[in-house]
Amino acid sequence: MRKLLLIVLATVLTACTAESTLKSLVEEFPQHRKELNELKDLMLVLSDSAKDFIFLSSRVTEGKDDLIDFFEKEGRIPVSKVMNTTFKPHGDQLLRVQAIIHAAGIDYVSVDKERKAVWVTLKGGGVLGSDRGYLNAGRGDITSFHLQRVLPIPNEPNWYAVPSACPAGGWEATESQKRLVFSLLGSHWAAGFPLVRPLSV
């Protein structure tokens, strides 16, 4: 009985925290509107020159530099290195992405090339320490993401507040999104596909 009560309590706390987080994100969006829209455009430009990738801020790389992960065997690569290789034609855009991520306190950002969607994850928050952030659904219908909770940003086409701004619980992941979760959390966390647990770095 005690276990059941704890489960119910955890469920209620999760739901309340998620709703509160979403409302806070909607309220905070206007102060970051310019940077987030610029970041979205830049990430889409960079994605044209590369495979699926994720940009991880030094905030979440355990003291290492900002890193890029292409989900290949070489693992995560310092931004300074890919600037002279993969993203050489777009060095200025990559530097701008780096500057926005640092200034806005973003942990990581990734692109769903298939749907031209951009996921932006901010610092983990809430009593359960879950991620929070935004999704620009691009050319995809928001219902196609099958997210459990989401709030549209008023007067901002395709922008949504999500309690976990990365491929997360409650929707069927694409291959690129599976690679993202495997890369960040390890295979034991992602073993439950097609449903993926909330992502927290």
Half-sphere exposure of 52 (CA within 13 A, CB side): 21
Q: Worst-scoring range by mean pLDDT, 73-82, 125-134, 191-200?
A: 191-200
- How do residues 102-126 score in pLDDT, each as one tens digit? 999 999 999 988 889 999 998 754 4
CA–CA separation, 87 and 103 (whole Å) = 21
pLDDT at 63 (0 to 100): 73
Helix (H) or strand (E) holding 56: strand 54-56
Q: Worst-scoring range by mean pLDDT, 47-61, 92-106, 158-172?
A: 158-172
- How do residues 128-169 score in pLDDT, each as one tens digit? 455 789 999 998 888 888 888 899 999 999 999 997 655 433
- Tell me the pTM: 0.72
Residues 6+ positions from 198 with CB-CB distance below 8 Å:
130, 131, 163, 164, 168, 169
Q: Are 66 and 78 in contact (CB under 8 A)?
A: yes
Backbone angles phi, psi at 187, to 5 degrees: -65, -30
Sheet with 67-69: strands ordered across? 76-78, 67-69, 54-56, 106-112, 117-125, 130-136, 159-162, 151-152
Instruction: Please determine, for residue 95, whether its predicted confidence score (pLDDT) is greater than 90.
Output: yes
CA–CA separation, 154 and 90 (whole Å) = 32
